[in-house]
Amino acid sequence: MTYPLIIEPKSLEAEIGNNDLLLVDLSQAQTYVQYHLPGAVFLEYAWLVHIEQPRMGLLPDAAQLSNVLGALGLNDNTHVVAYDDEGGGRACRFLWTLDVVGFKNFSLLNGGLGAWANEGHNVTSEIFFPDKGHYEASIQTGPLADRQYILDHLHKDNVAILDTRSPQEYAGTKVFAQRGGHIPGAVNIEWTEAMDKSRNMRLKPENELRELLEMHGITPDKEVITHCQTHHRSAHTYIMLKSLGYEKIKGYPGSWSDWGNDTSTPIEH
């Protein structure tokens, strides 16, 4: 069975119970205990990120990722469907992490737990535990951009830096690091601009997303580097771009907590 990258609740409900499906819930723990999709296993978001104060949201090493993915029972025959209760940021950070380790069989539940529950699909409070296995994670550089990579590619015509923080963070009037502002040349599209609030936070229709991106010069011919404060919100943007067929996309783990806390990096306001 082949599943789309963005899967609708109605389509997923027909597939629940298939042996190849692994439903991964990245909601708040208290939400998962109350209700979740039938068969879904819980994944604590903190296990997907590494912290070196004041830098947050860094990528864990291969050993930690191997432990996490092995504990989920991930194998080559698995197809992962991830969701959360907050618009898809945590779920997409997980899917981006899978991309980083070269695991390609994954989908995002469009609208997440909200769309699923609000539209009358079955939920349960039964706790499900994965069949633990062994997974050997190997970090691939393709989906990754670090500080040095960005410094080396500043102001290149074929590279676009997409800052998905709020306009206030972008302008430097709201500061969550040693310095405020944005990476020189970066364009700002707040991550929630991709969401349709009238349809349970699903991604907006493809034509609307393309129009939004191209209005800001984010075109498929460019390499696009997404970032926010930690690469949580911008992971959602990464998956959105992937769903539109953008082929040259990278995420910046650590994001502004890395850039803004390094006094040697250039910034604009």
Residue-wise DSSP of 1-24: ----SEE-HHHHHTTTT-TTEEEE
Omega before 253 within 30 of 0, i.e. cis? no
Q: Structure tokens of 55? A: 């830098």
Pick from 183, 159, 151: nearest CA to 170:
183
Report yes or no: 187 and 105 within 8 Å, Cβ to Cβ.
no
Question: Per this entry, what is the length of the chain?
Answer: 269
User: Which class for 203: exposed (0-12), middle (13-18), buried (19 or more C-beta within 10 A)?
Assistant: buried
Q: Taking a C-beta distance cutoff of 8 angstroms, is the pair 40, 116 a contact?
A: no
Tokens of 24: 């991964």
Alpha helix positions (H), the chain: 9-13, 29-34, 62-71, 89-100, 112-118, 147-153, 167-171, 206-215, 233-243, 255-259
Sign of CA dihedral 6, 74, 247, 150: positive
Catalytic residue among 95, 113, 228, 240: 228
Catalytic status, residue 92: no
Find the largest Cα–Cα distance for the chain.
53
Count of other CB atoms within 10 angstroms of residue 172: 15
**Mind telling me the catalytic residues?**
228
